[in-house]
């Protein structure tokens, strides 16, 4: 019998044979995906191939018609009450292309409102955490600014800090730099790079191929709702086994 220490840890996120259709159109056609604690996993692939749909399944926002989705042992495909949905969403941070900050709240209050209302934290301690997180994303001096006064890159860093304020088990990043001016992309990637280094579990959808190669433990290439290929970043980027991956990377880089 293997000892507890030698037994491999189960995946934090585990998708098996996930099938999802919108009406009559199949969008995910048998997705298998594993994310282990502390890993950064990147999903790449053409537009419309199902990348965002996979992320929305992991948050429980979408339910597949077939297959299983486990997040830290919870079946995200079988949540039976609103309370279970809220519990799952507390554990999975989500950062989108559109930062969706609350425009009428200061940067600080954007970070405080959910920990107080949803986690029941007291306001003073939520504020302390918010200041620490703003320090981490290098925006401590903007605590009292409003989102409209910030650049796109700064707003996106606030959105990342806001996700972190919920102390999630993992964070999903869906093309978070796609809408930014080129000169602010780097500052957002720097923040994500540091999170990965600190051991935050991350699932990234990105078109920044060099960044993906640098930070990812594993890369999944999707096309038409199928995972065509996956493996260590180094291998997928430099020796893709599938001709479709090769073609995509040749065009993307």
Residues that bind ligand ADP (CB under 6 A): 22, 27, 45, 47-53
Question: Which of the listed partners (ligand ADP, Mg ion, none) does 81 bind, with a CB threshold of 5 to 8 Å by partner kind?
Answer: none
Question: Interface with Mg ion includes 216 (CB under 5 A)?
Answer: no
Q: How far apart are the first and last CA of the chain?
A: 47
Q: Which ranges constitute the DSSP H helices of the chain? A: 51-58, 82-91, 107-117, 123-136, 152-165, 182-197, 209-215, 233-238, 243-252
Judged by CB under 5 A, which of 39, 42, 49, 52 binds Mg ion?
A: 52
Q: Which is nearer to Mg ion, 154 or 156 (CB)?
A: 156
Q: Where are the beta strands (DSSP E) in 7-80?
A: 13-22, 25-35, 40-44, 66-71, 74-75
Shortest CB 223 distance to ligand ADP, Å: 9
Task: Count, in order, helices (H) and strands (E) of the chain.
Answer: 9, 10
Give the Cα-Cα-Cα angle 250, 55, 167 (nearest 5 degrees). Answer: 120
Tell the smallest beta-carbon distance from residue 149 to ligand ADP (Å): 31
CA-closest candidate to residue 42, choices 56, 54, 30: 54
State the nearest-atom distance from the C-beta of 133 to Mg ion, in Å.
26
Which of Mg ion, ligand ADP, none has residue 48 at its interface (CB below 5 to 8 Å by kind)?
Answer: ligand ADP
Residue 206 binds to Mg ion (criterion: CB under 5 A): no
Residue number with CB closer to ligand ADP (114 or 209): 209
Angle at CA of residue 44, ends 39 and 47, nearest 5°: 145
52 vs 154, beta carbon nearer Mg ion: 52
Q: Among positive and negative, which fits the CA dihedral 230, 234, 236, 240? A: negative
Smallest distance, Mg ion to C-beta of residue 174, A: 6
CB of 229: closest distance to ligand ADP in angstroms?
Answer: 15
Q: Which residue is nearest to Mg ion (CB)?
A: 52
* CB nearer Mg ion, residue 51 or residue 89: 51
What is the C-alpha separation between 10 and 172, in angstroms, rounded? 19
What is 100-113 written as a DSSP string? ---TTS-HHHHHHH
Using an 8 Å Cβ cutoff, are 158 and 108 in contact?
no
27 binds, among Mg ion, ligand ADP, none (CB under 5 to 8 A by kind): ligand ADP
From the CB of 117, what's the least distance to ligand ADP, in Å? 27
Work out what residue 47 binds among ligand ADP, Mg ion, none; the CB cut-off runs from 5 to 8 Å by kind.
ligand ADP
Interaction site with Mg ion (CB under 5 A): 51-52
């Amino acid at each position: 019998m293997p000892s507890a220490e030698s037994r491999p840890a189960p995946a934090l996120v585990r998708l098996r044979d996930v099938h999802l259709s919108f009406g009559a159109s199949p969008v995910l056609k048998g997705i298998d995906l594993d994310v282990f604690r502390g890993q950064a996993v990147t999903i790449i692939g053409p537009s419309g191939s199902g990348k965002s749909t996979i992320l929305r399944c992991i948050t429980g926002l979408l339910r597949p018609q077939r297959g299983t989705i486990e997040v830290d042992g919870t079946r995200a495909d079988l949540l039976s009450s609103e309370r279970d949905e809220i519990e799952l969403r507390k554990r999975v941070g989500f950062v989108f292309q559109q930062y969706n900050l609350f425009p009428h709240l200061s940067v600080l209050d954007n970070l405080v409102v959910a920990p107080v209302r949803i986690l029941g934290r007291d306001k003073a301690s939520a504020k302390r955490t918010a200041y620490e997180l703003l320090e981490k994303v290098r925006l401590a001096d903007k605590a009292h600014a409003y989102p409209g006064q910030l650049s796109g890159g700064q707003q996106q860093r606030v959105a990342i800090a806001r996700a972190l304020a919920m102390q999630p088990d993992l964070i999903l990043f869906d093309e978070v730099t796609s809408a930014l001016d080129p000169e602010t992309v780097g500052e957002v990637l720097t923040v994500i790079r540091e999170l990965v280094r600190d051991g935050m579990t991350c699932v990234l959808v990105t078109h920044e191929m060099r960044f993906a190669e640098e930070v990812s433990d594993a890369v999944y290439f999707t096309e038409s709702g199928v995972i065509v290929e996956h493996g260590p970043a180094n291998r997928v980027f430099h020796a893709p086994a599938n001709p479709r991956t090769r073609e995509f990377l040749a065009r993307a880089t």
